[in-house]
Amino acid sequence: MDYFVITSILVFISALFGYINVRFIKLPNTIGLTVITIFFTVIIFLLSYIDDTLLNAERFIITHIDFKTVLLDIMLSFLLFAGALHTDLQKLKEQRWPVLAFATFGVLVSTFLIGGSVYFVLMAIDLHVKFIYCLLFGALISPTDPIAVLGILKKAGAPKKLEIKIVGESLFNDGVGVVIFLTIFGLASGTGNGFSFNEVLELFAVEVFGGLLLGALLGWLTYRFMRSIDDYNIEVIITLAAVMTGTVLAQYLHVSAPLAMVVAGLIVGGNKTREAAMSELTEEYVDKFWELIDILLNTVLFVLIGMEILVLDLEPKYIIAGLLIIPIGLICRYLSLILPVYLFQKKLDFVPNTNLIMTWGGLRGAISIALALGLTDAMERDLFLVVTYIVVIFSIVVQGLTVEKLIKKLKLN
């Protein structure tokens, strides 16, 4: 079975489950597809006691897809560019300092708070794991997932000031989170024995600031090319080329492709670029094209998340650990946001209960699962994969379904 056949099957399943969700269940697509896929996989498990043909077919698909590579090296660039393209750059500029604080200081503090808490929780249930591996888990679970967040917040009715903070943080903190994860991964795997503070700063600077600079260059070049012509077909292709070429360049230069795509998307989607470089027809086609890419990849992605249950080692202790860590992750996120919110709330007129909404609305998603899949066996991969999956599913389904109700209860919508 080649990759075209596997892709065709995934698109077919995504279309089928998407239809079932829209026609009958009527949940937000992100949540509905995840729930339906998990339910479908459980049914296949039960049917396997009679005939295991479907179970073997689903396992074949999952084992032949490198979820980590597919998401982090391919899909994420398209999804982040599409998300950034439809984000209000002017409003983001107004909130740039709190967004920067949330995406850097907040992620770093959350990493250490979660890592330390998880170490003691696991010890309490007789799972003895090295502290640095717990810290590694803290790094992979701390970033909020822009894909999940963008999908849910569109329907939540949050105040625009609050929405731009959550969306802006989610767009940027995954790039920062990946850098923190890779740094700790190097230390944990033994390749970082000689790591110094300067080396960590150098890695951070190259990955983060290199990604930002590359994104700015890509955005500017895309703007210049689009401004010099008036042909919506070619201009759509130019935006597609920017994402694909930019992703390859980022991998070659060892800079953050996600951050590059966010910056490029913000520049291309900004009001000034739209006014100066796009006709109304071009703007409509560019928006519709990237909206379709966003929907298609999101649909396939959340079907894959549901199917990843097949690779889990569902030991009772691992499940207990995952359930215990759900509230720990929420509490640590709340604590990590206290200082940034306190520093900026008066100056930028934050809405009431900003910290609470950002905690409950900061969903974990596919990025955390992809990073967990990249752990080695020595790093307690099976344990942390189960824990990550439980936290992510709770985040997408429970938090995703209730964030709108929370906003209404606090009378913020």
Same structural domain, 223 and 327: yes
In the predicted structure, residue 115 carries a pLDDT above the cut 90:
yes
Give the Cα separation of 331 and 335 in Å (integer).
Answer: 6
At residue 144, φ and ψ (nearest 5 deg) are -80, 150
Range of lowest pLDDT (24-38, 172-186, 280-294):
172-186
Q: Does residue 257 belong to any structural domain of this protein? A: yes
pLDDT at position 208, please? 85
Interval 124-149 mean pLDDT: 91
- 233: containing domain: 74-409
Higher pLDDT, residue 373 or 202: 373
DSSP 377: G
Same structural domain, 375 and 300: yes
In the predicted structure, residue 123 carries a pLDDT above the cut 90:
yes
Higher pLDDT, residue 160 or 56: 56
In the predicted structure, residue 196 carries a pLDDT above the cut 70:
no
pLDDT at position 151, please? 65
- Write the pLDDT tens digit of every residue in 281-320: 999 999 999 999 988 998 999 999 999 998 899 899 999 9
Interval 23-52 mean pLDDT: 91
- Write the pLDDT tens digit of every residue in 346-364: 877 788 889 999 999 889 9
- Write the pLDDT tens digit of every residue in 323-345: 999 999 999 999 999 999 999 98
Q: At 340, which CATH number? A: 1.20.1530.20
pLDDT at position 2, please? 76
Buried b (16+ CB within 10 A) or exposed e, 49-65: eeeeeebeebbebbeeb
Q: Does residue 168 belong to any structural domain of this protein? A: yes
Same structural domain, 253 and 400: yes
Same structural domain, 43 and 137: no
Q: Which of 364, 363, 409, 380 is nearest to 158 (CA)?
A: 409
Same structural domain, 333 and 359: yes
In the predicted structure, residue 69 carries a pLDDT above the cut 90:
no
pLDDT category of residue 204 using cuts at 50, 70 and 90: confident
Same structural domain, 193 and 316: yes
Range of lowest pLDDT (185-199, 206-220, 338-352):
185-199
Same structural domain, 42 and 150: no
Higher pLDDT, residue 328 or 403: 328
pLDDT at position 202, please? 77
Same structural domain, 49 and 126: no
- Proportion of the chain above pLDDT 70, given as a percent: 95
Range of lowest pLDDT (56-70, 123-137, 191-205, 290-304):
191-205
Same structural domain, 216 and 358: yes
pLDDT at position 399, please? 93
pLDDT at position 191, please? 55
Same structural domain, 96 and 56: no
Helices (H), 189-256: 197-204, 210-227, 232-253
pLDDT category of residue 247 using cuts at 50, 70 and 90: very high
- Write the pLDDT tens digit of every residue in 79-107: 999 989 988 888 888 888 999 999 999 99
Give the Cα separation of 358 and 285 in Å (integer).
Answer: 33
Q: Does residue 69 belong to any structural domain of this protein? A: no
Could you tell me where the beta strands, DSSP code E, fall in 10-65? none
CB 383, CB 127: distance < 8 Å: yes
In the predicted structure, residue 142 carries a pLDDT above the cut 80:
yes
* Domain end residue (candidates: 44, 63, 82): 63
Same structural domain, 59 and 78: no
CB 300, CB 11: distance < 8 Å: yes
pLDDT at position 195, please? 56
Same structural domain, 44 and 79: no
What's the whole-model pTM score?
Answer: 0.91
pLDDT at position 194, please? 53
DSSP 309: G
Q: Does residue 68 belong to any structural domain of this protein? A: no
Give the Cα separation of 198 and 64 in Å (integer).
Answer: 39
pLDDT at position 290, please? 95
- Proportion of the chain above pLDDT 90, given as a percent: 59
